[in-house]
Structure 1
Amino acid sequence: MTGTRRAPSVPEPPPTPHTPHTPDTPGGPGGPGGPGGLDRDKLFAARLQAARARPYLATALFPLHTVESRRVPTMAVDRHWRCYVSPAFVDRTPVEELAGVWVHEVSHLLRDHHGRGDRVARERGLTGPGDRLRMNIAADFEINDDIYGDGLARPAGAIDPKSLELGEGHLMEDYLRWFRLGPRTQDLAWLDCGSGADGLEREWDLGPGGADGLGPHEQDAVRFRVAQGITGRPGSAPQGWQRWAEEVFHPPQPWRELLGAAVRSAASAAGAGDDYTYGRPARRSAALPGAVLPSLRRRPPRVSVVIDTSGSVSDAELGSALLEVAAISRAVGGRRDLITVVPCDAAARIAHPLCLAEGIPLVGGGGTDLRTGFARALRARPRPDVVVVLTDGQTPWPDDRPPCRTVVGLFPRVPEAWSVEEDPDYEPDTPPAWAQVVEIGSSPGGR
């Protein structure tokens, strides 16, 4: 749901169990002819307007099955692609704004906020209702920052990251780290987009055994068709949707999770991201009257990513490297300002601060000597806590272990036939033992 505030002047009957689902036709029970029922003519006119404003979402809007319910504040979706609708909300909301709500709700499902919410809850131990409300707000921020305008009206009260002084263009997982419930969010306690927004099943959900839900394979098929519509008309969708469509065609692989885990492990190692501060004196200062000792604090780690841009690395692999840079930024808490990228073939070039990964120029094409990339990364001030190298491995490596943790993402290679014929003892270069290696494109493993 878009964060439309409840109109206090509109009375609603006390909560009752949802009415049975009726077909999406205006004449059935709860249609415009029923007293106090759902005005399906108005609701479906808004859906049609949403499809006209965002034609690439039409194949997702129409498979949504509507369920009349007086237990939802406005509109909400469950993880099985049912849309629960409050009759009073439809009555008091203009068709133009209802169209925006349709797009908002289907966006939760297309972006798999329910599945992602489940994963975040497991990883971060988020179990309470307040945590799920935070997920719903963060998911709304991810959606609302760029879907309105250009023929699609913004519903009244729709929340966006600016309301909490947060930047736009980020993911739900990032926003969850950046705000807590408090005075600025107390007006959003009623917000409820359903289990389709955060993964937590509601008591009014029809559940997996209910009628007219979509199974996992049907949901994937809908997502794929929407992604095809977006990529088939480049420039017609906002950047957020274009990035989503790209991920649908290039879904996360097991090795990507391994790479993220390796970076997090390196970043959390003893000494990585540690610094002293006088802002909070050490507890042992009490034993030394008149002396103030600094305490050790943990700050977000600095990461330098060295990308092999030599001629042996394909354009597709360079594109994959940029995707990994974005994944690495999420692995260390979303602090893009603490990540630099060093393109390197036979010589290292400028160390680029990470703003948007797709804006980094990967210039190269010659031979390979990543020793210069290591040297360039380690000359940075302040020095990185972790160096991540994305390469095919066909390069000389530093003789000495760098003074920080090193993670190598290795593009797979088969030894060239001519190399084996000329030298039967030929072995391709391999990363040194002091580097943690993850094979990119392989099944779970690595060393």
Structure 2
Amino acid sequence: MDGPTRGAPEDGAPAGVRLDRAKLLAARYKAAEARPYLASALYALTVVPSAGVPTMGVDRHWRCYVSPAFVDATPVAELAGVWIHEVAHLLRDHHARADRLPAADQRDHRRVNIAQDCEINDDLIADGLALPEGRMEPRLFGLAAGGMFETYLSAIPATPPRAPDCGSGAHGTAMPWELGEAAGPARIGAVEAEALRRQTAQAMRAHQKARGRLPGGWQRWAQELLEPTVDWRRALSGAVREAAAWAGGAVDYTYRRPSRRTAALGGRVVLPSLRRPLPRVAIVVDTSGSMGEDAIAAALGEVTGVLREVGVRGNRVAVLACDADVHTVSRVTSTEQVTLAGGGGTDMRVGIRAALAAPDRPNIVVVLTDGYTPWPDETPSCRLIAALIGAEAPRPPDWVETVRVLPGA
């Protein structure tokens, strides 16, 4: 990364472009010293002086294009903030996320860039970093801080008065001042970039444990990278389907419908046929005071929807409303028929025992709970699935099949 002295053109730069490299690198050192968890990512960027870039920008290959005039006019403290801003585009994989936007949005890369800047800058400002005037923030568009750029995009005007351009490493559209795929200095590939993201996320987690201070956006980013959120609807649906298939696999013999092989025996012997019974399902709903109605409704709707698809409905599904006692037991065909009562303490063991004590004993018990409950001491003689409401819900014993339901996700 060491380059020529001030006043000499550098590799990849047009003749006559001069960059105060000492000032620029001093700003990067300041950024890395103040935010050490970003150091590896910051020093992975390759500097490319350019008279075409408005301020600073990045491409998909982790090359950082720098305007010499911008460096001359900007204090070191603000340059340090811009360094962090630009590397944040790459760490948050903004260009790949922009590639997944509708085509109409992709064509207006200025709006995309503004939305991305809003996603980044609210964290940087909250973290006390200095940024140049004219920075984009969610509040300028009447938006709440802490959002993702995809959710901000619809509120960004079609022709913004100020249009930042952080390059294809942000909005995904290659700019004229970029060097392209084959040309120019060292490039970082997709595999190395992903390794840098993971290394940075691990450094953030270590920093947070040691010092306890990290902006909320970076916390969420690191957690999602190291512990990716599973689509809870798909996971819950899959668990219920698999359990239904398991219960339905318990075939039995029946004489109500003789086997087709009986005719071959001339009627002298009647052979039973195999029967694949539909499972009975009990859904135990935690109605204690800590449970949110929206989360309960979302999870209950997902479970009953899957059961309908696999042919389990009507009197084969019982819903038990339970806090520390069972308050209602319903046979339902839709979630609108469910009566939820309770609001006291929490003990899902009571609901599980009540479900298993019913005359029509269930093959599958699904428990919708925030997890703050005792669990049975041993595995019941049925398939038990716990749908845990909320990211912080404590896990049940290992023998309980578990799906984490994230409200609003």
Q: Is the 8 A contact 1:38 1:90 kept in 2?
A: yes
Give yes or no for the alignment of 1:142 onto 2:119: yes
The answer on whether the counterparts of 2:113 and 2:170 sit within 8 Å (CA) in structure 1 is: yes
User: When the two structures are aligned, how many residues end up with a matched partner?
Assistant: 282
Give the 3-state SS of the residue equivalent to 1:153 in structure 2: coil
Q: CA RMSD in A?
A: 4.0
> What letter matches 1:27 in structure 2?
T
Distance across 1 between alignment mates of 2:70 and 2:189 = 28
Aligned partner of 2:197 in structure 1 is 223
User: Does residue 102 in structure 1 map to residue 57 in structure 2?
Assistant: no
In the superposition, relative to structure 1, how do residues 228 and 430 fare at CA in structure 2: closer, same or farther (>3 Å)? closer
Q: Counterpart amino acid of 2:333?
A: R
CA distance in 2, matches of 1:347, 1:252: 25
Question: How many angstroms apart in 2 are the aligned matches of 1:112 and 1:261?
Answer: 29
Q: CA deviation at 1:389?
A: 5.9
In the alignment, the residues of structure 2 paired with residue 208 and residue 135 of structure 1 have an alpha-carbon distance, to the nearest angstrom, of 22
Task: Structure 2: give runs of 5+ residues left out of the alignment.
Answer: 239-283, 308-316, 320-329, 339-365, 370-375, 387-401, 405-409
Report deviation, 1:149: 6.0
Q: Residue 30 of structure 1: CA displacement?
A: 2.4
In structure 2, what residue type is equivalent to 1:129?
R
Pairwise mapping of residues 18-417 of structure 1 onto structure 2 (< 5 A)? 23-27=1-5, 29-30=8-9, 36-119=17-100, 121=101, 124-126=102-104, 129-130=107-108, 132-148=109-125, 152-182=129-159, 185=160, 187-189=161-163, 191-210=164-183, 211-234=185-208, 235-253=212-230, 255=231, 258=234, 346-352=286-292, 377=297, 387-388=301-302, 397=319, 399-403=331-335
Cα distance change of structure 1 residues 353 and 46 upon mapping to structure 2, 3 Å threshold? farther
Q: Distance in 2 between matches of 1:112 and 1:97?
A: 23
TM-score normalised to structure 1 length: 0.54
The change in CA–CA distance for 1:409 and 1:385 in structure 2 (over 3 A counts) is: closer
- How far apart, CA to CA, are the structure 2 residues paired with 1:149 and 1:176? 21
CA 352–410 in structure 1, closer or farther in 2 if over 3 Å, else same: closer
| C-alpha spacing 1:75/1:405, structure 2 compared with 1 (3 Å) | farther
Distance of aligned partners of 1:247 and 1:128 in 2 relative to their CA distance in 1, 3 Å threshold: closer
TM-score by length of 2: 0.59
CA displacement, residues 418-447 of structure 1 (integer Å, 9 cap, x when unaligned): 869xxxxx652689xxxxxxx959xxxxxx
State how far apart, in whole Å, the 1-side matches of 2:227 and 2:51 are.
40
**Which structure: larger Rg?**
2
1:26–1:148 CA distance, 2 compared to 1 (3 A): farther
Structure 1 residue identity aligned to 2:202: Q
Q: Contact conserved, 1:43 with 1:95, CA < 8 A, in 2? A: yes
Q: 1:51, 1:58 within 8 Å by CA — same for their partners in 2?
A: yes
Q: CA offset at residue 158 of structure 1? A: 1.1
Q: Can you give the 5+ residue segments of structure 1 that lack an aligned partner in the other structure?
A: 1-22, 263-343, 355-372, 378-383, 421-425, 432-438, 442-447
Q: Report the AA paired with residue 114 of structure 2.
A: I
Check conservation: 1:53, 1:151, Cα contact below 8 A. no
Could you tell me how far 1:139 is from its partner in structure 2? 0.5
In 2, the alpha carbon distance for the partners of 1:403 and 1:145 equals 40
Task: Give per-residue Cα distances to partners, 1:227-254, cap 9 Å, x unaligned.
Answer: 111111222321111111111111245x
Post-superposition shift, 1:152?
2.7
- Superposition deviation, residue 351 in structure 1: 4.9
- CA separation of 1:48 and 1:181: change in aligned 2, threshold 3 A: same
- Cα 1:48–1:429 shift into 2, 3 Å: closer
Percent of aligned positions with the same letter in both sequences? 42
Distance 1:223 1:409 in 2: 37
Please say which of residues 239-248 and 173-182 is displaced more in the overlay.
173-182
Deviation at 1:385, TM superposition (A): 12
Distance 1:128 1:56, change over 3 A: closer
